């Protein structure tokens, strides 16, 4: 059991649990993309930690690239506004693209991203999200092919996920104490 950050109320997913999720996803992706021209695209900045672990859990040759989009400000609510801050450096035409995301909530960010990337004519385009806030009555705008785990509808931090750019380096995923928002 890792020591908890004082701002964290509860640990949802421990380092060990995350490692086994990543191992399972990596094995599945290795199998599904055998012989394909796999490109992993991580969405900055939240997905970098997951990307770093996931790429090492995949046996196949692959390329990586990064995109930065803005959908949230420094707060906890979606603005619904998405814009590209950093575009890809590589050409994805005819390649098998897997978008690597930290967390899927409304899916508005990914919906926009997928529309944009599909116009570049990849051979395939799928989503691998570490967490999915797949709660009752909430419909995400995209359907991920790979999911690390489902997540309650709380604001979570750690393993790449931030609140106002803090807590990304926590090795586990936790729920913030309410007073941290105040």
* The pair of three-digit structure tokens given for residue 2, joined into one six-digit string: 């890792």
Query: Tokens 């936790």 — which residue?
Result: 174
Question: Quick one: what does residue 65 bind among Mg ion, ligand IMP, none, with the CB cut-off 5 to 8 Å set by partner type?
Answer: none
- Judge residue 88's burial from the number of C-beta atoms within 10 Å of its C-beta, 0-12 exposed, 13-18 middle, 19 or more buried: middle
Cβ neighbours of residue 180 closer than 8 Å, sequence gap 6 or more: 7, 163
Q: DSSP string of 43-79?
A: EETTTHHHHHHHHHT--S-EEEEEEEEEEE-SSSSEE
CA–CA gap between residue 37 and residue 82 (Å, rounded) = 28
Question: Quick one: what does residue 57 bind among ligand IMP, Mg ion, none, with the CB cut-off 5 to 8 Å set by partner type?
Answer: none
Single out the segment in contact with ligand IMP by CB under 6 A; choices: 3-11, 16-24, 30-38, 98-106.
98-106
Q: Is 107 in the site for Mg ion (CB under 5 A)?
A: no
Question: Quick one: what does residue 148 bind among ligand IMP, Mg ion, none, with the CB cut-off 5 to 8 Å set by partner type?
Answer: none
* Helix (H/G/I), strand (E/B), else coil: 115: helix
Cβ neighbours of residue 24 closer than 8 Å, sequence gap 6 or more: none
Query: Hey, which residues are catalytic here?
Result: 105
Tell the smallest beta-carbon distance from residue 126 to ligand IMP (Å): 16
| Residue whose CB is less far from ligand IMP, 33 or 50 | 50
Tell the smallest beta-carbon distance from residue 167 to ligand IMP (Å): 9
**Which position among 8, 33, 40, 71 is part of the footprint of ligand IMP (CB under 6 A)?**
71
Write the interaction track for Mg ion spanning residues 11-50; mark x where CB under 5 A is met and - where it is not.
-----------------------------------x----
* Residues near ligand IMP, by CB under 6 A: 46, 71-72, 78, 101-109, 155-157, 161-162
């Amino acid at each position: 059991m890792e020591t908890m950050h004082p701002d964290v109320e509860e640990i949802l997913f421990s380092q060990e649990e995350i490692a086994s999720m990543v191992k399972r996803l990596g094995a599945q992706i290795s199998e599904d993309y055998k012989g394909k021209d796999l490109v992993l695209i991580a969405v900055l900045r939240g997905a970098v930690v997951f990307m770093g672990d996931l790429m090492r859990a995949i046996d196949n040759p692959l390329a990586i690239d990064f995109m930065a989009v803005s959908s949230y400000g420094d707060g906890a609510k979606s603005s619904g506004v998405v814009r590209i801050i950093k575009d890809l450096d590589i050409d994805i035409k005819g390649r098998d693209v897997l978008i690597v995301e930290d967390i899927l909530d409304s899916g508005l960010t990914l919906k926009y991203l997928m529309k944009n990337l599909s116009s570049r004519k990849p051979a395939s385009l799928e989503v691998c999200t570490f967490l999915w806030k797949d709660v009752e009555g909430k419909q995400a705008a995209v359907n991920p092919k790979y999911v690390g785990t489902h997540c309650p509808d709380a604001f979570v931090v750690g393993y790449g996920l931030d609140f106002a750019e803090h807590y990304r380096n926590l090795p586990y995923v936790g729920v913030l104490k309410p007073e941290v928002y105040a």
